[in-house]
Amino acid sequence: METVDLAVTSRRDLNARLHALPGHTNETLWRVENPGGQHALAVGLTASVTVEIAGHAGYYCAGMNQQATVVIEGNAGVGVAENMMSGRVHVKGDASQAAGATAHGGLLVIEGNAAARCGISMKGIDIVVKGSIGPMSAFMAQSGTLVVLGDAGEALGDSIYEARLYVRGTVASLGADCVEKPMWPEHLTELRALLDAAGVDASVDPASFKRYGSARTLYNFHVDNAAAY
């Protein structure tokens, strides 16, 4: 294990060392101590390594991630896993706004709650939140999956495209063009796989969730829908 203490090493040096790793490195396990809520930790990783952050992380932790596994043993600030392409990001605490924003792939797991705009403009990522999410989550979500075991705030899925939303708790309100949809067997199968991947207890029944998605009324302009744009 490579251990980096941010009380004595700069964030820039940490990221530079991680960026310099070759694709098939033997240095596959890194531990970052005393993160102190610093921003942009473990960003832009392209090697198949695991980075454990022993505490809270600031803005944009694990942004632009590719292939790596980043574990945050605390809370994460704005934009955790923003624009992630692949790999896995695991937040063991709560996440601030815009978790997984614009992300194209990979899996983001949040053990606690996520604030507003979780999954905003998501483009293929899978997000599993074991707590609740704030308002305007999945705004303009294009593809991918958002799973919420708790409740969802106002305007869920506003202006959504083809992302799939599964919520087990109460939804405060749905955004423009977002509607509840039936749960077919393929959705139950997909949801079960995501719950398993996120380490959710097997006793959680996929049938206890509701599915939400696009009504597809805003794809093309129609004067009857003008008020919804």
Return the percentage of the chain with pLDDT > 70, whole number: 96
Question: pLDDT category, 95, cuts 50, 70, 90?
Answer: very high
CB-based contacts of 219: which residues, under 8 Å, 6+ apart? none
Residue 228 has pLDDT above 70, yes or no: no
Give the tens place of pLDDT for each residue, 50-72.
Answer: 999 999 999 999 999 999 999 99
Average pLDDT over residues 123-128: 98
Q: Are 160 and 178 in contact (CB under 8 A)?
A: yes
| 132-155 pLDDT tens trace | 999 999 999 999 999 999 999 999
pTM of the shown model: 0.95
Count of CB atoms within 10 A of residue 5's CB? 13
Give the pLDDT band of residue 169 (cuts 50, 70, 90).
Answer: very high
pLDDT at residue 161 tops 70 = yes
Burial class, 222, CB count within 10 angstroms (exposed 0-12 / middle 13-18 / buried 19+): exposed
For residue 229, pLDDT beyond 60: no
pLDDT in tens, 175-200: 999 999 999 999 999 999 999 999 99
Evaluate whether 101 touches 119 at the Cβ level (below 8 Å). yes
When the pLDDT of each residue in the chain is averaged and rounded to a whole number, the result is: 95
* pLDDT of amino acid 225: 66
Query: What is the structure's pLDDT at 226?
Result: 65
Give the DSSP letter string of the chain: -EEEETTTS-HHHHHHHHHT--TT-S--EEEEE--TT-SSTT-S--SS-EEEE-S-B-TTTTTT--S-EEEESS-B-TTTTTT--SSEEEESS-B-TTTTTT--SSEEEESS-B-TTTTTT-EEEEEEESS-B-TTTTTT--EEEEEESS-B-TTBTTT--S-EEEESS-BS-B-TTEEEE---HHHHHHHHHHHHHTT--TTS-GGGSEEEEE--SSSS--GGGGGG-
Mean pLDDT of all residues in 202-228: 84
Both tokens of 222, joined, read 């129609």
